[in-house]
Amino acid sequence: MKKLIIFLVLINYFSSKAQIAKYSNEFLAIGVGAHALGMSNARAASVNDVTSGYFNPAGLANLSQGIKTQGALMHSEYFAGIAKYDYFGVARRIDSSSVASLNVIRLGVDDIPNTLDLIDANGQINYDRVKRFSAADYAFLLSYARKSKIEGLTYGGTAKIIRRTVGSFANAWGFGIDAGIQYRKNGFRYGATLRDAFGTFNAWSMSFTERETEVLLQTNNVVPKNSLEVTVPRLILGVAKNFEYKKFTALAEINLENTFDGYRNTLIKSKNLSIDPRVGVEFGYANTVFLRGGIGNIQEVKTGISSRAKIVQPNIGLGLKIKMIHLDYAFSNVGQQVGLLSHVFSLKVDLKK
């Protein structure tokens, strides 16, 4: 029953007409890979693997020259296992200057009971009439990056295809584009990613039977209608610095996520611009063992009737690299939600030339 209530809340949200949605496609704000999640997703400047298609497509061009193909997998669960989040990515070197990748993301809640027909025409409860459905969000990210003729400068883009389904009741197709650049000089790394560069559009199509429509009206729910949802652009800026001492390495990065759609619950906010800072660090030994940490998601919450306080979300992670195998773990939060922590595991494999 709890799942059905969540479903009804979501489906009523989709009922509004064409709109610019402040929190559209938020499943794409969670992040991919335990490596990045352990650093609070502060990766716009330093990312240089298959996950670049998500964080900054320009990073693909900085994939190690010795790697021909790289693949990655990740799985995590949230809300006591109710929601499952899965990721798959593969990157392929085209030549010495360019790399392409495909990243696939799924966030789903499965086995949701549909109790709209629980009561039959005679007013009797009949559990045999309860059917089950899934609500799932999919993203397919196709990315390409190249090295520029300017030494240290790379650029790239990602085409996003969005598919969202809520059983047989509602479904949407969406499309958007991300663009990014990275620049490396004097040990510093700089990055910028423009997500949803021209707006990402989700076209929702609703389908309810007469019986389902009648039940929704009788329970004081709005019957959703077809709609168009637009995700506005956001700009992520990052700077990172790498340090080395014998077999020890350290990487520190700060990202600023800038949104332009009014007030958000971020550290810096105004009616025109809100800025959400994230900081991540990574310590390594012999390019084999890694310890990571990060802070982000700085929000203001109520602590009493008239008092407020700022809170910070910490993340931690571990990494192990054995030849061509990367194993990563993170204890991280879900996107922008406070206190929704989960164990995240990911695997990455390098295939040499």
Cβ(253)–Cβ(262) below 8 Å:
no
Residue 59: per-residue pLDDT: 97
Q: What is the full per-residue pLDDT of the chain (353 aa) written as tens digits?
A: 445 444 444 444 443 444 666 678 889 998 999 999 999 999 999 999 999 999 999 999 999 989 999 999 999 888 777 889 999 999 999 999 999 999 999 999 988 887 777 776 677 777 777 788 889 999 999 999 999 999 999 999 999 999 999 888 889 999 999 999 999 999 899 999 999 999 888 898 888 777 777 777 877 777 778 888 888 899 999 999 999 999 999 999 999 999 988 888 888 888 889 999 999 999 999 999 999 999 988 888 777 777 788 888 889 999 999 999 999 999 886 554 545 678 899 999 999 87
Domain count along the chain: 1
Q: Which CATH number fits the domain that encloses residue 77? A: 2.40.160.40
Half-sphere exposure for 287 (CA within 13 Å, toward CB): 5
**Which of 240, 280, 242, 252 has its CA nearest to residue 45?**
240
Spacing of C-alpha 243 from chain mean position: 28
Residue 129: per-residue pLDDT: 74
Residue 21: per-residue pLDDT: 63
Distance (Å, whole) CA 334 – CA 215: 33
Cβ(260)–Cβ(269) below 8 Å:
no
* Structural domain boundaries, residue 318: 2-352
